[in-house]
Structure 1
Amino acid sequence: MRLNDPEWQARGPRSAGLPPVHPGLTAGEAASYGRARRASARRGCMVLEALDPGTEHGRVYRALVCLPRTGVAELAAETGIRPETVRRLLDELVARNVAVALDGGAWEAHSPAEITESALRRDAVRRAEARQSGTELERLFRFVRREEGHYGALEVLTDTERILATMQRMQRAANQEMRIIDRPPYFAQPSYYANQETLQFDRMAAGVGYRTIYYESAYNDGTVPDIPRMVAKGEQARTLKEPPMKLVIADDQLAVVTLEAEGGQSVVALLIRPSSLFTALSNTFETLWKLAVPISAVGADTLDDDRDRVILTLMASGATDEAIARRLELSRRTVVRRVALLLDRLGATTRFQAGVQAARRGWL
Structure 2
Amino acid sequence: MHQLRALGISAEAEAIYLDLMARGALSIDEVAEGAPGSVDGPLDELAAVALIERSDGKVLPQPPHLAMEALAQRHTKEADLARESAALLSELWTAGIGQQTYVELLPSAEAAWSVLGNVQVDARERVRAMTVGNQASPQHRIVDGLFDALARGVTYEVIYGTQVLQDSEALRKVQLCVDAGEQARVFPQVPLNLTLVDDRWALVSARTTVGGITSTAAMVVHHSPFLTGLVGVFDAFWRMAVPITSGTEPSDVTGAPSLETKRLLTYLSAGLTDESIAREFGVSERTIARRISRLQETLGAQTRFQLGVQASRQQWL
Which TM class, normalised by the smaller chain length?
Answer: 0.5 to 0.7
* 4+ long deviations beyond 6 Å: 221-225
Superposed, which structure 2 residues align to 1:86-125 within 5 Å? Answer: none
Letter in 1 for 2:311: A
Rounded Cα–Cα distance in structure 2 between residues aligned with 1:311 and 1:220: 24
Cα separation, partners in 2 of 1:224 and 1:181, compared to 1, 3 Å: farther
Match of 1:179 among 128, 153, 156: 128
What displacement does 1:224 show?
Answer: 6.5
Amino acid at match of 2:298: R
Q: 1:214 aligns with which of 138, 160, 182?
A: 160
Q: Is the 8 A contact 2:128 2:156 kept in 1?
A: yes
Quote the offset at 1:257 in angstroms: 0.8
User: Is 1:271 the equivalent of 2:224?
Assistant: no
Cα distance between partner residues in 2 of 1:179 and 1:257: 12
Residue type of the alignment partner of 2:234: F
Q: How does 1:312-351 map to 2 (within 5 A)?
A: 312-321=265-274, 324-325=277-278, 330-351=283-304
- Assess, with a 3 A threshold, how the Cα gap between structure 1 residues 262 and 198 changes in structure 2: closer, same or farther: closer
1:294 aligns with 2:243: yes
Which of 268, 280, 283 is equivalent to 2:232?
A: 283
Match of 2:143 among 197, 200, 223: 197
Match for residue 264 of structure 2 among 296, 302, 311: 311
Q: 1:220 to 1:351 in 2, by over 3 A?
A: closer
Report the Cα distance in structure 1 between the residues aligned to 2:209 and 2:269, rounded to whole angstroms: 47
Pair 1:258-2:205 in alignment: yes
Q: What is the SS of the residue equivalent to 1:259?
A: strand
Closer, same or farther: CA 336–259 of 1 in aligned 2, 3 Å = closer
Tell me the distance in 1 between the aligned counterparts of 2:299 and 2:269: 13
* Structure 1 contact 293–360 (Cα < 8 Å) conserved: no
Question: Percent identity between the aligned chains?
Answer: 33
1:46-125 maps to which residues of 2 (within 5 A)?
none
Q: 1:15-34 maps to which residues of 2 (within 5 A)? A: none
For residues 157 and 125 of structure 2, the distance between their equivalents in structure 1, rounded to whole angstroms, comes to 11
Task: Please report how far the alpha carbon of residue 248 of structure 1 lies from its aligned counterpart in structure 2 after TM superposition.
Answer: 0.8
Aligned to 2:56: none
AA matched with 1:269:
A
Aligned length: 212
Match of 1:34 in 2: none
Residue of structure 2 aligned with 1:229, choices 167, 176, 179:
176
In structure 2, the CA distance between the partners of 1:221 and 1:342, relative to structure 1 (3 Å rule), is closer
Deviation at 1:243, TM superposition (A): 1.9
Question: Shift of the alpha carbon at 1:208?
Answer: 2.2
Secondary structure at the residue paired with 1:294?
A: strand
Displacement of 1:273 in angstroms is 1.7
Which consecutive residues of structure 1, in runs of 5 or more, have no partner in the other structure?
1-149
Q: Out of 153, 162, 166, which is 2:115 matched to?
A: 166
SS of residue in 1 equivalent to 2:156: strand
Measure how far apart 1:203 and its partner are.
1.8
* Cα distance in 1 for residues equivalent to 2:199 and 2:283: 48
Q: Cα distance 1:211–1:334, how it changes in 2: closer, same or farther (>3 A)?
A: same
Larger radius of gyration: 2
Q: Does the 8 A contact of 1:180 with 1:211 survive in 2?
A: yes
TM-score by length of 1: 0.48
Residues 291 and 157 from structure 1, CA distance in 2 versus in 1: closer, same or farther, beyond 3 angstroms?
same
Partner of 1:354: 307
User: Secondary structure in 2 aligned to 1:290?
Assistant: helix
Which residue is equivalent to 2:51?
none
In structure 2, the CA distance between the partners of 1:329 and 1:215, relative to structure 1 (3 Å rule), is closer
Residues 253 and 274 in structure 1, CA contact (< 8 A), matched pair in contact too:
yes
Q: What TM-score do you get using the length of structure 2 for normalisation?
A: 0.54
Asked if the contact 1:315/1:352 (under 8 Å) is kept, the reply is: no
The match for 1:241 among 188, 192, 210 is: 188
Q: Which amino acid aligns with 1:336?
A: A
Distance in 2 separating the partners of 1:184 and 1:322: 42
